[in-house]
Amino acid sequence: MIVRIVKLTFKTENIVSFENIFNQSKHLIRNFDGCNFLELYQDKNNPAIFFTYSYWDSENALEAYRHSDLFIGVWAKTKILFADKPEAWTVNKNETLN
């Protein structure tokens, strides 16, 4: 399993638009083949900064999503709202403590 963390910084006036896009697509993303978990975080001190956090079966599953019509459509609507270049990390999940 891999974890994908993406930092997204939006223009303040575009926050609501991004939230609407995410709300319309979150169930489709979460139910995409290979996606096991999806969360959205918003920075406590800067509400224009969001992070998506998702679990994927493999890098191949993540890449299949990134080349899908779903991703291409969501990304096209989202990227025009940015105030800064997005950052992304793909990491291995080594341990979980509950």
Domains annotated for the chain, with CATH where assigned, are 2-92 (3.30.70.100)
Q: In the prediction, which pLDDT does 37 show?
A: 97
User: What are the tens digits of pLDDT across the range 61-98?
Assistant: 999 999 999 999 999 999 999 999 999 999 999 999 98
pLDDT value at position 24? Answer: 98
pLDDT confidence of 5, banded at 50, 70, 90?
Answer: very high
Coarse DSSP helix, strand, coil percentages of the chain, rounded to the nearest 5 percent? 40, 35, 30
- How buried is residue 44: exposed, middle or buried, by Cβ count under 10 Å (0-12/13-18/19+)? exposed
CA angle 28, 48, 30 (to 5 degrees): 15
What is the pLDDT at residue 29? 98
pLDDT in tens, 40-61: 999 999 999 999 999 999 999 9
The C-alpha atoms of residue 86 and residue 88 are separated, in whole angstroms, by 7
CA pair distance 97, 23, nearest whole angstrom: 29
Q: What angle do CA 21, 60, 58 make, to 5 degrees?
A: 90
